Amino acid sequence: MKTFGHFDDQNREYVITDPATPFPWINYLGNEDFFGLISNTAGGYDFYKDAKFRRITRYRYNGVPMDAGGRYFYINDGGTVWSPGWKPCKTPLDAYECRHGMNYTRITGAKNGVEASVLFFVPLKTWAEVQKLTLRNTTNEVKTLKLFSFTEWCLWNAATDMENFQRNWSTGEVEIENGSTIYHKTEYKERRNHYAYYALTNAKADGYDTDRESFVGLYNGFEAPQCVMAGKPAMSLAHGWSPIASHYIEVTLQPGESKDYIFLLGYVENEQDEKFSQEDIARKQRGELISSQDSDVTLVNKKKAHAVIQRFATVEAVDAAFQELKEMWDGLLSKYTVTSTDERLNRMVNIWNQYQCMITFCFSRSASFFESGVGRGMGFRDSNQDLVGFVHQVPSRARQRIIDIASTQFPDGGCYHQYQPLTKRGNNDIGGGFNDDPCWLIFGTVAYIKETGDFSILDEMVPWDNEPGTEVPLFEHLRISFNHVVENLGPHMLPLIGRADWNDCLNLNCFSWDPNESFQTTENNSEGSKAESLMIAGLFVLTGKQYVELCQKIAKDEEAKRAQRCIDAMVEAVKKHGWDGDWYLRAYDFYGNKIGSKECEEGKIFIESQGFCTMAGIGLEDGMVEKALDSCKKYLDCEHGMVLNNPAFTRYYVEMGEISSYPAGYKENAGIFCHNNPWVIIGETVARRGNDAWDHYTKICPAWIKDQQLHKVEPYVYCQMVAGKDAAKPGEGKNSWLTGTAAWNWITITQYILGIKPTYDGIEIDPCIPSTLKEYTVHRELRDALFDITIKNPDGRESGVRSIVLDGSTIEGNVITATPGHHEVVVVM
Ligand code: BGC
Ligand code: NOJ
């Protein structure tokens, strides 16, 4: 079977050895404010905080060929023109390798005795991407090369950048400083106080270009820019049209010699009264600056850019910054590690699953090669789930995220479905009314407190809808979230679904016949609706139990009792009205008809309610949990994972909406929606079925992918969806990277399968593993406690702890307090 790469666990890298991957296989640069997406052929783009409002470089989606535009280097070696990343030139290379690591990518290409290796990363706390290019002459002759860099500016707002050309083609402006730094300053004169720059920091360029047409040529593509082909820059100055930044460097390399060039692609914000620089007027008169600005008085103040350029002007400084990034990741990945005989398990837990959790925490569902970055901000439910996979890495950032999310909530407990990361305001275009949203705030907050022991977050004063003066303690937001479900029950005393629950495409109150309407934002006709959700019922019981435990912990006993009564009532309602005989129903529709029932023509069983009701343990004592799990195996499972529903919908049901609009086997219509597979897996651990849990886990786990060509997308991260058994191509993956699958599989494997769960006081040890796993060790750091835990399973059991020895003494039970210091724990199953 053809492979395109392999894991290098030692270096925590995925190594791509063939540039023509079945789809661009990407990586993410940056982890705080300044971000980049980079493909294995150096395609992609950068932005500051918000992929829509602060797009720095331009990208074309769904282009022909795929993945056009990025950070390109061109080498003209005596008329042979090539790029280290193969694209865009596609000149056959003598060698190619792309190493995607933790927030960095190194792409190396070689041609005719020249090796070019580029390291891309964003230094910590820096608003810039570093590109360190190393050129090496591996021949016995002197080589003279013409090197060109290239990047294309986006006119800041990535949405209007792709549509408003009557305006855009007149607004572009740049400045050029000493030929080596190119500043992009479109609209800087007026309301913007930010600009971008592309600098060569450790050498002087021999030329430049800033106008796309002059550099590329109107009738050329990126693969053959006319300047590169001619071996000569045009020294162009952009006035409107499409401003770019390109350096031209003449390089001579002695036999065996290598040279490093450092490029910096950065972003700066200036204070309003320090936007412009008087000194630069004089510099311009001396010829040190070239500007396409209409007026000299509006030359940008470059002080901040200069400081960063200075900081990264030497190879030593760049290498030190890279080392710092690596050390940060050493730290982040040391909080939870497993050692077992299965290297696939080790690499998912120790490296890639954790890495993806950081990425989803940073980006939510905004910017990937499947999300254009213009459509979506941060989701309320998405971010609450993402932070649960990330909280052990940097708890303080998870804390801030919880406050930001809660600040967009409405006083009745409802929520804006999304908010923009730049403004942190709720997004009015999408609005609210997704009735699962409030529950997720409890889910996120409880995970934070269990990780940190920091109950003070509950006292943080948090506004409603960002309205100053409305602040109440965060705990109040949790109480109102809980109540939002209780106060919105339907005829069966089950939660009303509202606009939709977790499944955005089960639109029970939409009734749309208008193709110009978006299912997601069309009028919510839930007035008078009887549509109820079993998924929210299960979610409510699960997060409600967490809420009760929290209330008890902080001595709110009356509130705990009240909440418990609501949960008991919900459990009763599910047993009475939500059970279909062999599985849980999915919902009741607008009219009160069953969805996800044997009685239905299609879509007889859905995964979400099986996942949540089994996780919540509803009817465990009556055998409902096991029956539902068996039904998942029987009807939903296939070689590549469990599909969302079965049978798939084959026609449009107006009362169900978008779900029935998708072709069978794709997306929410019977695709393998990886996000909800772990719910059933956790359900399996509730039923103590370790072998089944493991079987489901490995089916969707990237490290177990056999056919890379079929899977198509990156084999090192989870994707949102793999085509299901009813699809044309079962097993084909789509929408990689930005999915709640990362966080859910993280807690599934670390807490429920390997069985090390944080609790308010410490850790609980409760493995539920395959009987073939005879021994493994986990290193877990929780607050100031360090645990080294060895789990022995001599009899090949699936669950159950027989004895625990803590620091040499046998203990009662399976919970260990997080007392500061190092602890050795030996567990026998
Ligand atoms: C997609 C969902 C997504 C929703 C909101 C739908 O078209 O299928 O996965 O959550 O849009 O953007
Ligand atoms: C993706 C969305 O981001 C998420 O919020 C939703 O729950 C799933 N799709 C399922 O529709």
Distance 672 CA to ligand 2 centre (A): 13
DSSP per-residue string spanning 206-265: SEEEEEHHHHH-TT--TTS-HHHHHT-------BSS-EEEEEEEEEEE-TT-EEEEEEEE
Residues found in the chain = 829
Closest C-alpha residue for ligand 1 atom 10? 504
Closest C-alpha residue for ligand 1 atom 12? 520
- The whole-angstrom separation of Cα 743 and Cα 29 is 20
β-partners of residue 45 are 37
Q: Is there a contact between 142 and 113 (Cβ–Cβ < 8 Å)?
A: no
Which atom of ligand 1 is nearest to 519's Cα? Answer: 7
> What are the start-end ranges of the E strands in 270-372?
289-291, 336-339
- The whole-angstrom separation of Cα 372 and Cα 154 is 14
Is residue 435 predicted with pLDDT exceeding 80? Answer: yes
pLDDT value at position 789? 98
Q: Is any atom of ligand 1 closer than 6 Å to the C-beta of 371?
A: no
Closest C-alpha residue for ligand 1 atom 3? 504
Is residue 27 predicted with pLDDT exceeding 90? Answer: yes
For a pocket test of ligand 1, which of 504, 510, 649 has the largest count of ligand atoms closer than 8 A to its C-beta?
A: 504
Q: Is any atom of ligand 1 closer than 6 Å to the C-beta of 382?
A: no
Tell me the pLDDT of the chain averaged across its residues: 97
> Cα 67 vs. chain centroid, distance in angstroms?
19
Distance 416 CA to ligand 2 centre (A): 15
DSSP H/E element including 778: strand 775-782
504 is catalytic: yes
Which atom of ligand 1 is nearest to 735's Cα? Answer: 9
At residue 420 the predicted structure's pLDDT band, cuts being 50, 70 and 90, is confident
Task: Label the pairing between strands 785-792 and 821-828.
Answer: parallel
Q: Is any atom of ligand 1 closer than 6 Å to the C-beta of 504?
A: yes
> What is the reported pTM?
0.98
pLDDT value at position 413? 94
Q: Is there a contact between 2 and 709 (Cβ–Cβ < 8 Å)?
A: yes
Q: Is there a contact between 712 and 768 (Cβ–Cβ < 8 Å)?
A: no
Which atom of ligand 2 is nearest to 502's Cα? Answer: 7
**Nearest bound ligand to CA 437?**
2
Q: Is any atom of ligand 1 closer than 6 Å to the C-beta of 739?
A: no
What digits encode the pLDDT tens for the residues 338-381? Answer: 999 999 999 999 999 999 999 999 999 999 999 999 987 889 99
Distance 351 CA to ligand 2 centre (A): 25
pLDDT value at position 228? 98
**Nearest bound ligand to CA 667?**
1
556 Rama class: left (phi>0) / alpha (psi -120 to 50) / beta = beta
> What are the start-end ranges of the E strands in 335-465?
336-339, 378-379, 418-419, 461-462
pLDDT value at position 293? 81
**Tokens representing residue 728 in the block:** 């044309």
To the nearest whole percent, how much of the chain has pLDDT over 70?
100
**Nearest bound ligand to CA 364?**
2
Annotated catalytic residue within 46, 161, 501, 504: 504
- The whole-angstrom separation of Cα 72 and Cα 150 is 5
For a pocket test of ligand 1, which of 360, 371, 436, 505 has the largest count of ligand atoms closer than 8 A to its C-beta?
A: 505
Distance 658 CA to ligand 1 centre (A): 9
> Cα 645 vs. chain centroid, distance in angstroms?
25
Which atom of ligand 1 is nearest to 662's Cα? Answer: 8
Distance 504 CA to ligand 2 centre (A): 6
803 three-class SS: strand
**Nearest bound ligand to CA 430?**
1
User: CB within 6 Å of ligand 2 — which residues?
Assistant: 365, 379, 381-382, 502-505, 668
Reference 82, options 113, 55, 123, 60; nearest CA is 113
Distance 687 CA to ligand 1 centre (A): 31
Is residue 817 predicted with pLDDT exceeding 90? Answer: yes
Which atom of ligand 1 is nearest to 720's Cα? Answer: 9
Is residue 149 predicted with pLDDT exceeding 80? Answer: yes
* φ, ψ dihedrals at 409, nearest 5°: -75, 150
What's the sign of the alpha-carbon dihedral 362, 364, 370, 371? Answer: negative
More confident residue, 285 or 96: 96
Which atom of ligand 1 is nearest to 658's Cα? Answer: 7
Task: Label the pairing between strands 605-606 and 645-646.
Answer: antiparallel
Give the residue-averaged pLDDT of 375-399. 95
- The whole-angstrom separation of Cα 613 and Cα 606 is 12
Reference 694, options 757, 749, 756, 615; nearest CA is 749
At residue 427 the predicted structure's pLDDT band, cuts being 50, 70 and 90, is confident
At residue 322 the predicted structure's pLDDT band, cuts being 50, 70 and 90, is very high
Give the residue-averaged pLDDT of 123-147. 98
Is residue 294 predicted with pLDDT exceeding 80? Answer: no
Is residue 429 predicted with pLDDT exceeding 90? Answer: no
Distance 503 CA to ligand 2 centre (A): 6
Question: CB under 8 Å to 83, separation ≥6 — which residues?
Answer: 42, 72, 73, 74, 75, 89, 91, 109
Distance 619 CA to ligand 1 centre (A): 31
- The whole-angstrom separation of Cα 581 and Cα 598 is 9
Angle subtended at Cα 663 by Cα 657 and Cα 666, rounded to the nearest 5 degrees: 95
pLDDT value at position 797? 98
What one-character DSSP code corresponds to residue 127?
S
Which atom of ligand 2 is nearest to 504's Cα? Answer: 11
Closest C-alpha residue for ligand 2 atom 10? 503
Distance 667 CA to ligand 1 centre (A): 9
To the nearest whole percent, how much of the chain has pLDDT over 90?
95
Reference 577, options 563, 595, 561; nearest CA is 595
Distance 503 CA to ligand 1 centre (A): 8
Task: Label the pairing between strands 72-77 and 95-101.
Answer: unpaired
Is residue 138 predicted with pLDDT exceeding 80? Answer: yes
For a pocket test of ligand 2, which of 371, 378, 382, 674 has the largest count of ligand atoms closer than 8 A to its C-beta?
A: 382
pLDDT value at position 505? 98
pLDDT value at position 278? 86
For a pocket test of ligand 1, which of 372, 386, 520, 735 has the largest count of ligand atoms closer than 8 A to its C-beta?
A: 520
Q: Is any atom of ligand 1 closer than 6 Å to the C-beta of 501?
A: no
**Nearest bound ligand to CA 607?**
2
Distance 269 CA to ligand 2 centre (A): 34
Is residue 431 predicted with pLDDT exceeding 90? Answer: no
- The whole-angstrom separation of Cα 677 and Cα 608 is 9
Reference 15, options 819, 714, 713, 725; nearest CA is 714
Q: Is there a contact between 295 and 190 (Cβ–Cβ < 8 Å)?
A: no
Q: Is there a contact between 481 and 438 (Cβ–Cβ < 8 Å)?
A: yes
Which atom of ligand 1 is nearest to 667's Cα? Answer: 8
Q: How far apart are the first and last CA of the chain?
A: 39
Closest C-alpha residue for ligand 2 atom 7? 502
DSSP H/E element including 697: helix 690-700
Q: How many alpha carbons lie under 13 Å from residue 459 in its C-beta half-sphere? A: 4
Which atom of ligand 2 is nearest to 382's Cα? Answer: 5
Helices and strands counted in the chain (H then E): 20, 43
Q: For the chain, how are helix, strand and coil distributed in percent, rounded to 5?
A: 30, 25, 40
Is residue 283 predicted with pLDDT exceeding 80? Answer: yes
Q: Is any atom of ligand 1 closer than 6 Å to the C-beta of 668?
A: yes
Task: Of 424-433, 490-499, 516-525, give the range with the top mean pLDDT.
Answer: 490-499
Q: Is any atom of ligand 1 closer than 6 Å to the C-beta of 675?
A: no
Give the residue-averaged pLDDT of 715-737. 98
Which atom of ligand 2 is nearest to 503's Cα? Answer: 11
Is residue 297 predicted with pLDDT exceeding 90? Answer: no
- The whole-angstrom separation of Cα 144 and Cα 132 is 20
What one-character DSSP code corresponds to residue 489?
B
**Nearest bound ligand to CA 500?**
2
Q: Is any atom of ligand 1 closer than 6 Å to the C-beta of 667?
A: yes
Closest C-alpha residue for ligand 1 atom 7? 505
pLDDT value at position 400? 98
